[in-house]
Amino acid sequence: MNPEPASVACVRAPKHLAIVMDGNGRWAERRHRPRSFGHREGQKALRATVEYCLRRGIGSLTLFAFSSENWLRPADEVGALMQLFLKALDREVDELHGHGVRIEFIGDLSAFSTELRERMLRAMEKTRGNRALFANVAVNYGGRWDIANAARLAAAAIANGELADANLDEKSLAPFFALASQPPVDLFVRTGGEMRISNFLLWQLAYAELVFIDTLWPDVDAAVLDGCIEEFARRERRFGRTSAQVAITTGQEPT
């Protein structure tokens, strides 16, 4: 892996980067190829992004790979995506494990075939001890599902006497969400030109910086990611405070 240029390496990087990888189908259609071709090309951008995060010391990367709404797409496209998942698990897990990447699938895995689900579970178990990068892959995931699932888990904890209902608040509910053990998402990027979050990480994005870019996912490379990180570094993150208060805590002039 090549080191980052000094001008990029000194830029403040997020601890947790979340990406909606949009534009595979349109990328293929512009080249008069089937949409599945775009999904295959998108895997190259995924590998480049993982390598980028490892170089920059970004500890958590969460990728929106397959939403709960994506089942509504044409059956042949969904089938092609499932096959890509299977092949990617066979091909990529050992290499990711070798780089210290921990793989975590978040979402309702029960909807997938037994074969695919078992491979996901094996990949998670194999890489569980790794710490160089948490690579979270959201599959059959929706932010509303995550909130409802957290509520169900909290209700079960209350029924079991593990949590008092009178104590249920944001802090006590937070551990029941996906990604609860990782830093909050501080940078959200969506490729492909659409400017919405599409039911992704509704709870976790509460204070994230949102960046929307026109680049289609298969064209994402280190230079594109550098631009997103530089935009993130320019943002003043106040978390409800004033610029003057932020300046006191950071030692910087208010912007």
Tell me which amino acid residue 250 is.
Answer: T
Q: What are phi and psi of 147, to 5 degrees?
A: -65, -45
Residues with a known catalytic role: 22, 70
Cα 143 to chain centroid distance, Å, stands at: 12
- What residues are paired with 16 via a beta bridge? 60
DSSP calls for the chain: -PPPPHHHHTSPPPSEEEEE---HHHHHHTTT--HHHHHHHHHHHHHHHHHHHHHHT--EEEEEEEETTGGGS-HHHHHHHHHHHHHHHHHHHHHHHHTTEEEEEES-GGGS-HHHHHHHHHHHHHTTT--SEEEEEEEEE-HHHHHHHHHHHHHHHHHTTSS-GGG-SHHHHGGGSTTTTSPPP-EEEE-SS--S-TTSSTTTTTT-EEEE--S-GGG--HHHHHHHHHHHHHS---TT--HHHHHHHHT----
Q: Output b/e per residue, 15-26; b: 16+ Cβ within 10 A.
A: ebbbbbbbbbbb
CA dist 67 and 81 (Å) reads 12
